[in-house]
Structures are given as C-alpha cells and as structure tokens.
Amino acid sequence: MFPALFPFFVISELLLGIGVVRFIGVLLDPLMRPLFRIPGTGGFVIAMGFASGYPVAARLTSTLRKQKQLTQDESQRIVAFCTTSDPVFLIGAVAVGFFQQAYIGGLLVTAHYGAAMLLGILLRFYKPRGTEMNTKHHTTIQYSHTLQKQQHAHHTRREGNTMQNNLFLRAFQAMHEQRLQNPTPLMTLLQQAVTNGLQLVMIIGGLVVFFSVFIHLFTSSNLLLPLYSGLSMFFSLIHIPSALSPAFVNGLFEVTLGVKSASILSIPLVFKVMAAAFIVSWGGLSVHAQIVSLLFGTDIKYVPFMAVKLLHGCLAAIFIVLLWNPYHTFLLNNTFVTPVFQHLNNMPSSISWASITGLSFLFMMLVFIVISFILGLYNKMFKSSK
C-alpha cells in the first residue's frame, strides 16, 4: 500500500502547488466540458484516479473543491465515477494473484474502467436540486480576467490560426497566476507533500486493518450468517450460484477479502470474475470510509457517492457477462494464441497481460475519442444554429 499510494499523493500535491493542474485544466477544458460537463481540471483527476486507484481521486477532488476550482455538483460527480481501482491491482493482484488466470486481466480492466467512463457520461445529465444551470461560468470565474486579456490580444487574428496558440497561452498564463497566488518555495512544497502523504497513508492503512479485523471477527462469530442466507436466496432467484454470497458479503466490507473469497470457489469462472468486478467497482466500506475521511470539511455528500458506486459495481458485472464470450472468441481466433489456451488454462507464454491490457486501453481510448468528436460536433452545430 505504501509504495502504491505514497508517490501519487506526493506528486499530486506538488502538481497542485506549482500550478501544473491549472495548466492541464485549461488545455483539457474543451474536451471535458462536452463529454462529462466538468472543467478541464477534472481530466487531471480522472487520469490520476484511474492510474493510481482509490482514494487518490477523492483527495484531489477535495483539494480542488476547497480551492473553489470545482463546484459542488462537479465535485460530487467527479469523485463518484473517478474513484476506481488501479490497473496494477486488477491485473497483478486479482487476475494473476487470486485467480491465477492472467488473461482475464484485460477483461477486468475493460469492464471496470468502461463502466466508470459510462457513468461519467451519464452523470453529466445529473443536476441536483438547487444547482445552478450555468456551472461553467461559476467554475471558471477565476480565469475570466486572463481569458479576456488573451481574447482581446488575439481578437484581430484569424480564428483558425490563433485558436491553438490562444489555448496554450491561456494555459501558461493560468499556471503562472496560480504560482503567483501560491509563492511557496519548491522545497517547502515537497516537505508539505511528503508530510501530508504520510498522514494519508497511515489513515488509509489503519482503516484497511480495522475493516479486515472487523470482518474476521464477524465471520468467526457467525454474525454474518443472516446476510449469507438472504443473499443466497436472492442469487437463487436470478440464477447466480448461491456459493457467491459469502464473497459478496466480505466484499461489502473489504475488497481483497471479497475477491479472495470469490477466487477459491468451485463454480464457473465467469461468475467468479463477475463477482470480482462488482466487488472491486463497489470498493468496500473500507474504501468508503477512506473517501469520507478525505471529503471531510467539504460540502461533497456521501450518499450520492455510495449510490453511484453501487451502480458502478452492477454495470461492471454486467459488462463481464456481456463481454465474456466475445472476449474469449477474440483471444481464440487470433494467431498469437497457442492451442493450450483452448482448454482455458493459464494464459500461454506467447501472450502477456501487457498486450491484453494495451488492447483494452486502446479500445476504450477509441470509444472516448469517437464520443468526444460526436459531442464536440453536436455542440458546434448547436451554437451555429443560434
């Protein structure tokens, strides 16, 4: 946990302090607005959250909210769909470690992040009560003076030749203004980032240990038997093996315990992977407690986050079921798969998990680009019709 989270905490704190996040935010704003209805700084949170896993996205969102770079509505949606696991855990710990089936890593990555991206797109239409319709102006009001100066300086130039330069100039200007507002020396920023990172890692580790001990005590004392029985009855109604109920209950509290419980069951692999996808996407109450502790002091609410994570788990499980046969057909029909794979044993040595993961990320990026292009084209047509 320490080597996995601590570097990301330190790096994110430094990037926030020196203004790089503001620079990235201005550059990504034209993409993030039509796709997720969030400012460009949300793109940095998405990248860091997906790459480093929970709870880095919550930490960044909380900081940006306190700096007034995000509205409450934007913060609520960002922390909900960006709080995900990291690829190293999905592939290294879940696929290789628990299931000892490296080839399912690509499927888990696709289902997990694909469901998160879909939720992000769907949540752009969510507007809570009392939220202003025009959140864009409220979020970017601190950039208004810079934008006006840049637009006035380049007003007489041709739009086609100046749009790209204007964007980069505004990004550099925003980063410069951020640095002027926070003139803390770099070494002081590093010291603060290391201190804050150590505190966060200690809190997160303590919560993980607490929930692990909690679930072991409840399991050994048979206090969870009513939950097992009730969930088994529900699974029987929807034709899911009832043996998965202990794994789901364990995953309700802690991710690794739930995934490990599912991996050792003697049931078809598709159901075990489906359970793992749900548990990892839900995150467990251990992760939820980490999120609540990081969001303390902001107006970001927990109940919408919990509802979105439950939906994330359901969507990821559905994606596993829908993609299971096409994914295996794709692997079996390619020439780089040896006949050993036809028995669905361990992935043959000619296929690496990096190759499968690369294909999965490539597919998601293509979908991302296509959707962004369509939404951008729609926005241009809508503006030109006014």
What residue segments make up the domains of the chain, in order of their start? 2-139+184-384
At 32 the pLDDT is 87
Residue 297 clears pLDDT 80, i.e. is over it: yes
Q: 63, 67, 81: which is closest to 126 by C-alpha?
A: 81
For residues 318, 110, 207, 97, the Cα torsion angle rounded to the nearest 10 degrees is 100
Distance CA 69, CA 297 (A): 16
Contact partners, residue 275, CB within 8 Å, separation at least 6: 244, 247, 248, 251, 258, 259, 262, 317
Do the Cβ atoms of 347 and 103 come closer than 8 Å? yes
Position 222, amino acid: N
Residue 154 clears pLDDT 70, i.e. is over it: no
At 127 the pLDDT is 74
Record the pTM.
0.74
At 128 the pLDDT is 67
Q: What's the rounded mean pLDDT across residues 370-386?
A: 51
Pick 223 or 139 by higher pLDDT: 223
Backbone φ/ψ region at 184: left (φ over 0), alpha (ψ -120 to 50), beta? beta
Do the Cβ atoms of 78 and 47 come closer than 8 Å? no
At 172 the pLDDT is 75
Pick 40 or 382 by higher pLDDT: 40
Helix (H) / strand (E) element for 317: namely helix 302-333
Do the Cβ atoms of 96 and 105 come closer than 8 Å? yes
Query: Residue 77's pLDDT band (boundaries 50, 70, 90)?
Result: very high
Residue 65 clears pLDDT 80, i.e. is over it: yes
Query: Residue 384's pLDDT band (boundaries 50, 70, 90)?
Result: low
Residue 363 clears pLDDT 70, i.e. is over it: no
Helix axes of 72-82 and 41-52: crossing angle, nearest 10 degrees: 20
Distance CA 188, CA 193 (A): 8
At 376 the pLDDT is 53
